[in-house]
Structure 1
C-alpha cells in the first residue's frame, strides 16, 4: 500500500533539476526582495497588486500600489520596457499576484512573483509599512 505522496512517481532527477531551476525565472522570495531593498539594490519595481485600501493597512516598504485590474499599458508607460516588475498580493491563499503577472506579461513586461506575498513577508519577521500615504501608479 502506498501513500498519496508516492502513488505518482517522482520525476527523474534531470526533470526535477530543469523544473526547479526554471522556477527561478518566474519567482523570487521575500528574503531575496528584503535583501535587495536593505542593500539599496532595487533593480526592480515592487508592485503590491492588492486594493489601495489593503495597501494602506499594511504593505512592503518601498512597494507601489497598483491593483492588478488597473495594470494597463498607459500606467506602465512611465517605465522602460525592460523594467523588471516583482508582484505580490496577500499570500499563498490569494491569486492576485498571478493575475498581475499575467497582465504584465501580456504587455511584454518582465515579471516575477514574490512567493509568499505579504503573509510570507510577515512570517519572515520583516517590517510592514502601515498608514503611510499610498504610493500609486
Structure 2
C-alpha cells in the first residue's frame, strides 16, 4: 500500500534537476543571505518591502526599506541596471515579497526572493537591526 507521499511517483532525475535548478534562480534563503552579509560577500541589494513602520521596528542588517508599493523606475534609478535585488517581507504568510519581485521583474531588474522573510530569519536564530 502506498502513501500520499509516494503518489504520484517522484519525478525522473532530469525533471527534478530542472525544477530545483529553476527554483534556485528565483529564491535564496535566510542562511545564504546571512552568510553573504556576515562575510562581506554581499553582491546584492537587500530590500525590505514591508511598510516603513514594520521596518523601523526591526529589519535585517544591511537592508534598505522600499515598500513594494513604492517600487518604480524612479525609486530604482540610483542602482545600475544589473543590480541583483533580494526581497523579503514578514514571512511565508505574506505575499509582499512576491509583489515586489514581480514589479522588479516587470522593470527588467534581476531579483530573487528570500524565502522565510523575517519569520525565517528569526527562526534561524539571526537578529534584527533597528
**Normalising TM by the smaller chain, what interval?**
over 0.9
Q: CA offset at residue 17 of structure 1?
A: 1.1
2:66 corresponds to which residue?
A: 66
Q: CA offset at residue 9 of structure 1?
A: 2.2
Whole-Å Cα distance in 2 between the matches of residues 49 and 12 of structure 1?
37
Whole-Å Cα distance in 1 between the matches of residues 27 and 62 of structure 2?
19
1:129 corresponds to which residue?
A: 129
Correspondence 1:47 to 2:47 = yes
Correspondence 1:26 to 2:26 = yes
Equivalent pairs counted in the alignment come to: 130
TM-score, normalization by structure 1: 0.90
Whole-Å Cα distance in 2 between the matches of residues 13 and 20 of structure 1?
10
Secondary structure, aligned partner of 1:41:
coil
1:112 corresponds to which residue?
A: 112
Whole-Å Cα distance in 2 between the matches of residues 70 and 46 of structure 1?
15
TM-score, normalization by structure 2: 0.95
Whole-Å Cα distance in 2 between the matches of residues 50 and 5 of structure 1?
35
Q: CA offset at residue 116 of structure 1?
A: 0.8
Whole-Å Cα distance in 1 between the matches of residues 35 and 7 of structure 2?
39
Whole-Å Cα distance in 2 between the matches of residues 26 and 101 of structure 1?
9
